[in-house]
């Protein structure tokens, strides 16, 4: 599935349904604000390290198979939608929190 950026108008319909999400991140790669925002919003997610140097996930999966550009952060929602831009993920978290 190719990585996509979720349009803000579709975020509202996703807010109530996501409980099993995955956050792909790499320390020092602009992922911290996203991580903090999701925690503050009380959202349940699984953090998955995606080192930008190796692009190999802990289970050995090539991160390029998840995001062809190799960028982090990436939030995968429970319906498979992928948010690939930090500001979009932060906005999603803020809307879930009601901010």
Which CATH superfamily hosts domain 8-97? Glutaredoxin (3.40.30.10)
The pTM for the full model equals 0.77
pLDDT value, residue 1:
42
pLDDT value, residue 18:
45
pLDDT value, residue 82:
96
- Taking 50 as the pLDDT cut, the residues of the chain under it are 1-18
pLDDT value, residue 48:
95
pLDDT value, residue 19:
58
Domain boundary assignment for the chain: 8-97
CB proximity list for 30: less than 8 A, separation 6 or greater: 72, 73, 86
pLDDT value, residue 16:
45
Relative orientation angle of helices 32-40 and 86-97, to the nearest 10 degrees: 10
Secondary structure percentages of the chain, helix, strand, coil, to 5: 30, 15, 50
pLDDT value, residue 99:
55
List the Cα angle 99/44/25 in 5-degree steps.
Answer: 90
pLDDT value, residue 28:
80
């Amino acid at each position: 599935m190719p990585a996509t950026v979720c349009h803000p108008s579709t975020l509202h319909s996703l807010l109530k349904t996501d409980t099993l999400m995955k956050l792909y991140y790499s320390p020092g790669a602009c992922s911290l604000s996203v991580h903090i925002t999701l925690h503050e919003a009380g959202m349940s997610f699984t953090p998955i390290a995606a080192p930008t140097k190796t692009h190999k996930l802990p289970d050995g999966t090539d991160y390029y198979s998840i995001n062809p550009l190799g960028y982090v952060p990436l939030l995968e929602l429970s319906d498979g939608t992928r948010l690939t831009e930090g500001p979009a993920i932060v906005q999603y978290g803020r809307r879930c929190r009601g901010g």
